[in-house]
């Protein structure tokens, strides 16, 4: 997320790739729960 914000304010092109997380990691990593696209919306096309 920090890289996206920095690229946005620096007007630098950035390609972001994403994939599905391993389900057993969802219990340990609470940030992987929910919609990960919502916080990025102001900084992406």
Q: Tell me the pLDDT tens digit for each residue of 14-40.
A: 998 877 767 776 677 666 667 778 888
Six-digit token string for 19: 């994939």
Dist CA 24 CA 29 (whole Å): 9
pTM reported for the whole predicted model: 0.61
The pLDDT of residue 15: 93
Helices (H), the chain: 2-9, 25-28
5 close to 43: Cβ distance less than 8 angstroms? yes
**Cα atoms in the Cβ-side hemisphere of radius 13 Å centred on 39:** 11
**Would the pLDDT of 45 be above 90?**
no
Three-state secondary structure call for residue 5: helix
End-to-end Cα separation, the chain, in angstroms: 15
């Amino acid at each position: 997320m920090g890289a996206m914000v920095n690229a946005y304010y620096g007007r630098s092109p950035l390609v972001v790739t994403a994939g599905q997380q391993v389900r057993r990691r969802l219990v340990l990593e609470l940030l992987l729960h929910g919609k990960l696209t919502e916080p990025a919306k102001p900084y992406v096309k």
